[in-house]
């Protein structure tokens, strides 16, 4: 194979950078210092660097977020959490004393608004003067706060005889477990880490009571805390692992510290400035954006690795200045287009209305651009500085047979020798495409953490013992001039609640009607059968509400606003995945059709908002894949100036992603907030190899080689770069598999799989296919 030598191979950007070395170096140093200063500033800020609260996931104008914000403010910006306690016997004097003390301490915890436990529940009753009071049921008279035996029996009878507490605080068939409900702040846009401090405080309080044998805690605040902890853990582990892997693998493949330094400079500039800009725009890191640095570090090695390899290849024939110009001249087109397509892959994520995914799209695209720009300006300066001389004692011939790479020269003979084995493996991979039909979008945060994690264990324990883990707010908004007890509304409300109690997913409902029912019993006496309040007139119901408010019944505020025209019913359910929750919403909306059209029914809560996000995640994945496919179809034939090569490139680049989605379907891995990134990132990870291979193949044809020799020339000249970048990319992404947040681990595993499939297709299947479609086959030179 003989390549014809061309002179004056220069790229203006490289030439400019080499002529103005000092200016370029000063610019990049100043840029890095500025970025580091922004990142350092976060450590002196009162705001948390990481936040996964529900407010950060949606655009400010998102209608679902607006609905939730309205509901949240209307009912005091608070949400419920569940604390399950296990002991020897719930109704023992000493354990009740401990619950009483525990309750009082939890009530004093910052950001906790209200606590409901066995020892502070209240009920309506008539005093001696015939007035109504809302009084606590548990009353300890001894100096050590321990109730006597008679008080204990009376208290147990009151609690066990009231269905209000069944499945909300106690379970009649379980004498060893009891629930404490607490209501805590739910500030959607507060970046302070108050949830972590609050949940940790509750746990520490519980641990001080030896009568508590075990405890479990659940709620969206608890999930948020675990997300934040996992994010912080991932930041440390990912950055350390990826940096170590890139450094060690880079040295192993590049064989010297000088080239490794150049590579590390590029990956540093790809990751630090985008994260600094997030801080500059006051955007907290979250479970999605913390993935950006390891992703960018991994992707940034592609172009610079090819530049380093090409530079040393050309140093066999030219002095360093001419060698870097010639090297980049030969790979300018693939470097430019691979970076551009990777940027487009990231920008396709910016179509998402899930704000963190949008952030990854915008700032990830910026990071890839910076990696390319540093590779084309600062990297050439460093390479020329480190390697100022031409390689000596080597032939100056441009005979491709003498320019075989270190790794690809061992690969080339294996491609033809075992081609049928490779083709068999290829068709086995294609079989996975049938799994695409099984791919679903679904989210269940309680299954996203390891089996040994407290959160996973707590949710399982609470579910197993039959208590609700997930408080869902069903809200009813009545006309402004009406109230929930207005003529005709209250019977429909009671009918609606009766239907809710029969729903298969609802364990318990908590509603203002329970409070009105207890007031009625206290005022009008007990009875058997259906509650009398179902048949009361508007006047009678309004009087009961007034009596309750006059008795200082502060529990009303948990369910209604001041004007009584906005009501929430708390449905205690098991934690449901987004698919299950969507089905639940459909059932509730169907039940809500009994109300007239002037009553607006909404189903709200953090878990509901998370479930709504799945629709947007699904749209993100579909839009991203669609845009990338369209770009491939139109762009690759243009890049390669050949319809045949363009179609080959489209297939080679779409197949790894399609095979990956198929494998996800077979293994029942869902599309969720992390795996939704697979489409955009996978393309950026795999396009590099295909474009470099086909571009070098075209260069061989252009400079006089036969079709078959051009295939070999492509393998042996860019094969090393493809192998090196693919292995570094795969290893970098595989570092994410150590995350204890399952979606992140899955993202790392399946992108790694996609990269390895792409490597197999580019360096094994591509040469086989290209040789098979050789139009010069009958005239091949011997």
Tens-place pLDDT, residues 651-672: 777 888 889 989 999 998 888 7
Q: Is the pLDDT of residue 257 over 70?
A: yes
Edge-to-edge strands of the sheet including 112-116? Answer: 112-116, 177-185, 78-86, 214-218
Q: Where in the chain is the domain with CATH 1.20.1640.10?
A: 12-45+256-438+611-779
Residue 780 has what pLDDT? 45
Residue 46 has what pLDDT? 55
Distance in angstroms (rounded) separating the CA atoms of residues 437 and 177: 44
Q: Is the pLDDT of residue 488 over 90?
A: no
HSE, side-chain direction, 13 A CA sphere, residue 227: 28
Considering the four listed CATH numbers 1.10.1740.10, 1.20.1640.10, 3.90.550.10, 1.10.287.180, the one that applies to the domain covering 12-45+256-438+611-779 is: 1.20.1640.10
Place of tokens 């390895």: 756
Residue of 505, 515, 435, 517 lying closest to 474 (CA atoms): 505
CA angle 42, 48, 52 (to 5 degrees): 130
Q: Is the pLDDT of residue 777 over 90?
A: no
Residue 782 has what pLDDT? 38
Residue 142 has what pLDDT? 58
Q: In degrees to the nearest 10, what's the CA dihedral of 290, 294, 299, 302? A: 160
359: tokens are: 């952030």
Residue 403 has what pLDDT? 41
Angle, helices 489-501/512-524, rounded to nearest 10 degrees: 110
**Residue 149 — pLDDT band, cuts 50, 70, 90?**
confident
Q: What is the average per-residue pLDDT within 270-289?
A: 86
pTM: 0.83
* Arithmetic mean of pLDDT over the chain: 85
**Residue 700 — pLDDT band, cuts 50, 70, 90?**
confident
Q: What is the average per-residue pLDDT within 640-660?
A: 81
Under a CB-based contact definition with an 8 Å cutoff, are residues 509 and 569 in contact? Answer: yes
**Residue 48 — pLDDT band, cuts 50, 70, 90?**
low
Of the chain, the end-to-end C-alpha distance in Å amounts to: 12
**Residue 374 — pLDDT band, cuts 50, 70, 90?**
very high
* Torsion sign (Cα): 295, 297, 300, 306: negative
Place of tokens 């003989």: 2
Residue 571 has what pLDDT? 94
Residue 397 has what pLDDT? 36
* Per-residue model confidence as pLDDT tens digits over 559-616: 998 888 899 999 999 998 888 998 999 999 999 999 999 899 999 888 888 877 777 7
Place of tokens 């505020």: 557
**Residue 5 — pLDDT band, cuts 50, 70, 90?**
very low
**Residue 200 — pLDDT band, cuts 50, 70, 90?**
very high
Of 106-115, 319-328, 385-394, least confident by mean pLDDT is: 385-394
Residue 401 has what pLDDT? 28
Residue of 755, 696, 701, 747 lying closest to 731 (CA atoms): 755
Of 1-5, 369-373, 638-642, 761-765, least confident by mean pLDDT is: 1-5
Q: What is the average per-residue pLDDT within 228-247?
A: 84
Q: Is the pLDDT of residue 408 over 80?
A: no
Higher pLDDT, 779 or 255: 255
Under a CB-based contact definition with an 8 Å cutoff, are residues 67 and 170 in contact? Answer: no
Cα separations in angstroms, 109 against 134, 197, 210: 24, 10, 20
Residue 84 has what pLDDT? 96
């Amino acid at each position: 194979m003989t390549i014809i030598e061309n002179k004056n191979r220069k790229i203006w950007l490289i030439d400019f950078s080499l002529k103005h070395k000092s200016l370029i170096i000063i610019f990049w140093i100043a840029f890095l210092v500025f970025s580091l200063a922004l990142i350092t500033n976060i450590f002196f800020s009162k705001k948390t660097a990481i936040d996964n609260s529900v407010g950060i996931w949606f655009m400010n104008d998102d209608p679902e977020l607006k609905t939730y914000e309205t509901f949240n403010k209307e009912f005091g910006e608070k949400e419920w959490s569940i604390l399950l306690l296990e002991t020897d016997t719930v109704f023992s004097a000493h354990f009740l004393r401990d619950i009483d003390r525990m309750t009082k301490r939890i009530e004093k915890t910052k950001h906790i608004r209200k606590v409901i436990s066995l020892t502070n529940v209240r009920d309506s009753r008539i005093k001696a003067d015939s007035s109504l009071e809302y009084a606590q049921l548990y009353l300890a008279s001894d100096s050590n706060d321990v109730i006597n035996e008679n008080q204990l029996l009376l208290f147990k009878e009151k609690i066990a005889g009231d269905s209000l507490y069944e499945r909300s605080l106690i379970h009649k068939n379980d004498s060893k477990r009891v629930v404490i409900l607490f209501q805590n702040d739910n500030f959607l846009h507060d970046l302070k880490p108050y949830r972590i401090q609050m949940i940790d405080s509750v746990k520490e309080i519980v641990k001080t009571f030896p009568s508590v044998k075990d405890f479990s805690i659940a709620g969206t605040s608890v999930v948020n805390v675990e997300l934040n902890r996992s994010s912080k853990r991932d930041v440390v582990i990912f950055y350390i692992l990826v940096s170590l892997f890139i450094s060690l693998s880079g040295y192993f493949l590049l064989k010297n510290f000088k080239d490794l330094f150049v590579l590390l400079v590029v990956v540093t500039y790809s990751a630090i400035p985008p994260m600094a800009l997030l801080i500059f725009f006051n955007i907290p890191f979250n479970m999605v954006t913390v993935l950006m640095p390891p992703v960018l570090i991994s992707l940034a090695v592609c172009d610079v690795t090819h530049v380093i390899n090409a530079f040393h290849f050309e140093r066999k024939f030219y002095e360093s200045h001419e060698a870097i110009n010639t090297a980049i001249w030969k790979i300018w087109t693939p470097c430019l287009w691979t970076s551009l397509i990777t940027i487009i892959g990231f920008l396709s994520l910016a179509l998402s209305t899930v704000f963190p995914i949008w952030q990854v799209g915008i700032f990830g695209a910026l990071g890839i651009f910076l990696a390319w720009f540093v590779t084309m300006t600062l990297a050439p300066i460093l390479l020329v500085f480190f390697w100022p001389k031409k390689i000596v004692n080597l032939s100056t011939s441009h005979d491709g047979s003498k320019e075989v790479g270190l790794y690809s020269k061992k690969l080339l003979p294996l491609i033809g020798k075992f081609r049928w084995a490779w083709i068999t493996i290829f068709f086995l991979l294609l079989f996975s495409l049938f799994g695409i039909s099984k791919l679903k979008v679904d989210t269940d945060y309680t299954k996203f953490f390891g089996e040994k994690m407290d959160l996973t264990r707590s949710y399982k324990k609470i579910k197993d013992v039959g208590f609700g883990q997930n408080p869902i707010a069903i809200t009813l908004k009545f006309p402004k001039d009406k109230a929930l007890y207005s003529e005709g509304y209250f019977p429909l409300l009671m009918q609606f609640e009766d239907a809710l109690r029969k729903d298969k997913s609802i364990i318990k409902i908590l509603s203002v009607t329970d409070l009105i029912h207890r007031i009625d019993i206290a005022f009008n006496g007990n009875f058997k059968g259906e509650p009398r309040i179902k048949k009361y007139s508007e006047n009678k119901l309004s009087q009961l509400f007034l009596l309750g408010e006059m008795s200082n019944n502060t529990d009303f505020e948990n369910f209604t606003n001041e004007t009584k025209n906005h009501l929430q019913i708390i449905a205690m359910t098991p934690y449901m995945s987004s698919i299950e929750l969507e089905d639940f919403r459909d059932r509730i909306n169907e039940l809500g059709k009994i109300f007239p059209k002037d009553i607006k029914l909404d189903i709200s809560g953090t878990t509901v908002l998370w479930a709504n996000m799945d629709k947007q995640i699904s749209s993100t994945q579909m839009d991203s894949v669609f845009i990338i496919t369209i770009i491939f179809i139109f762009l690759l034939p243009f890049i390669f100036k050949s319809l045949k090569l363009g179609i080959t490139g489209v297939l080679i680049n779409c197949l790894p992603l399609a095979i990956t989605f198929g494998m996800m379907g077979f293994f029942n891995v869902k599309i969720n907030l992390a795996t939704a990134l697979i489409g955009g990132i996978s393309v950026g990870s795999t396009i590099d190899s295909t474009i470099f291979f086909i571009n070098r193949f075209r260069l061989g044809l252009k400079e006089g080689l036969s079709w078959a020799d051009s295939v070999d020339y492509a393998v042996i000249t860019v094969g090393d770069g493809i192998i090196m970048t693919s292995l570094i990319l795969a290893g970098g992404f595989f570092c994410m598999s150590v995350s204890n947040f399952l979606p992140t681990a899955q993202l790392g595993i399946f992108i790694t799989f996609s990269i390895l499939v792409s490597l197999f297709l580019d360096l094994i299947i591509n040469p086989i296919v290209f040789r098979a479609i050789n139009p010069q086959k009958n005239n091949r030179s011997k």
